[in-house]
Amino acid sequence: MKPVIGLTMSPEDRPKKPYCIVSRHYVQSIVMAGALPILLPVCGDAAMADEYIHRIDGLLLTGGGDISPLLYGENPIKELDCFSLERDEFEIRLFKRALEKDIPVLGICRGLQVMNVALGGTLYQDVFSQIDNALGHFPKELPVDELYHSVQIERHSRLHRIFGQDEIHVNSHHHQSVKETATDFKVTALSSDGIIEGIEHTRKDFAVAVQWHPEDLTQRYPDFCKLFKALVDASTPP
Ligand code: MN
């Protein structure tokens, strides 16, 4: 049987009714990596996370909107975008339960930020107004599969073992980033302006996260499939 990977979703209020959505690029990337994707909608009760965790072999925390700064002890600056406290609390609970059960986790973009906040880290609410000399990280007109900036990968990391390179080029669609890294995480990738582009848990076998969007790159640059393959391999029962 294929391992089951749970993918989180964005709640989205459309004019006629509310939806839960997720990019099919995540779905396709998980299928390419040999697993069965199932979608985990936010459903009004964070405790449902405990139920979901018993039904999945691996967890993918997907990208999306901002995170409520109240969750890391700050009030919003004016550059903060939309957030959903319901989604934040659901995903934080999912991630904590996954760690307790030793379920492999891959966090992407917002997913990285959720993981950091869940374990006590903080964020820049907006890198462009809060970090001097921040380079570009959010080219709004560029296609999502365009490589945009370089990242340096820390040698002694799971991420380095996955890509086998000290530097790679990635896409970038974020305006928030990690400020203080939670003590259980180490930084595994940095952009040249010092923005944290990768973290991983120091004691868990597979709790890996990146700030870029590998799911948008797997078709055009198959090297990025390695990240999804690593999650699926870690999630495959022996
Ligand atoms: Mn970036």
Q: Tell me the CA–centroid distance for residue 135 and ligand 1, in Å.
A: 9
pLDDT at 226 > cutoff 90: yes
Rounded to an integer, the average pLDDT of 9-15 is 92
pLDDT at 170 > cutoff 90: yes
What DSSP assignment string belongs to 2-58? PPEEEEE-EEEE-SSSEEEE--HHHHHHHHHTT-EEEEE---S-TTHHHHHHTT-SE
Q: Tell me the CA–centroid distance for residue 109 and ligand 1, in Å.
A: 9
Provide the pLDDT for residue 32.
Answer: 98
Q: What percent of the chain has pLDDT over 90?
A: 96
Provide the pLDDT for residue 131.
Answer: 96
Q: What is the pLDDT of residues 78-118, one digit of tens each?
A: 999 999 999 999 999 999 999 999 999 999 999 999 999 99
pLDDT at 238 > cutoff 90: no
Q: Tell me the CA–centroid distance for residue 146 and ligand 1, in Å.
A: 12
Separation in Å, CA 220 to CA 18, 74, 93, 100, 215: 32, 39, 34, 36, 10
Rounded to an integer, the average pLDDT of 205-214 is 98
Q: Tell me the CA–centroid distance for residue 16 and ligand 1, in Å.
A: 34
What DSSP assignment string belongs to 61-88? E---SB--GGGGT-PPPTT---B-HHHH
CB-based neighbours (< 5 A) of ligand 1, an ion: 137, 172
Q: Pick 59 or 47 by higher pLDDT.
A: 59
Whichever domain contains 207, its CATH number is 3.40.50.880
What predicted TM-score, i.e. pTM, was given to this entire model? 0.97
Neighbour count for residue 28 (Cβ, 10 Å): 15
Give the total number of structural domains in the chain: 1
Provide the pLDDT for residue 44.
Answer: 80
pLDDT at 47 > cutoff 90: no
- State the chain's maximal CA–CA distance in angstroms: 50
Q: What is the pLDDT of residues 186-201, one digit of tens each?
A: 999 999 999 999 999 9
Provide the pLDDT for residue 236.
Answer: 95
Would you please indicate which residues are annotated as catalytic (active-site) residues? 109, 213, 215
Rounded to an integer, the average pLDDT of 153-174 is 98
Q: What is the pLDDT of residues 20-38, one digit of tens each?
A: 999 999 999 999 999 999 9
Q: Tell me the CA–centroid distance for residue 137 and ligand 1, in Å.
A: 4
Q: Pick from 148, 207, 208: which is nearest to 173 by CA?
A: 148
Average pLDDT in the chain: 97
With cut-offs at 50, 70 and 90, classify the pLDDT of residue 46: confident
67 lies in which domain range?
4-235
Give the integer Cα–Cα distance in Å for 108 and 197.
Answer: 10
pLDDT at 203 > cutoff 90: yes
Rounded to an integer, the average pLDDT of 155-184 is 98
Q: What is the pLDDT of residues 132-146, one digit of tens each?
A: 999 999 999 999 999
Residue 87 region by backbone torsions, left for phi larger than 0, else alpha for psi between -120 and 50, else beta: alpha
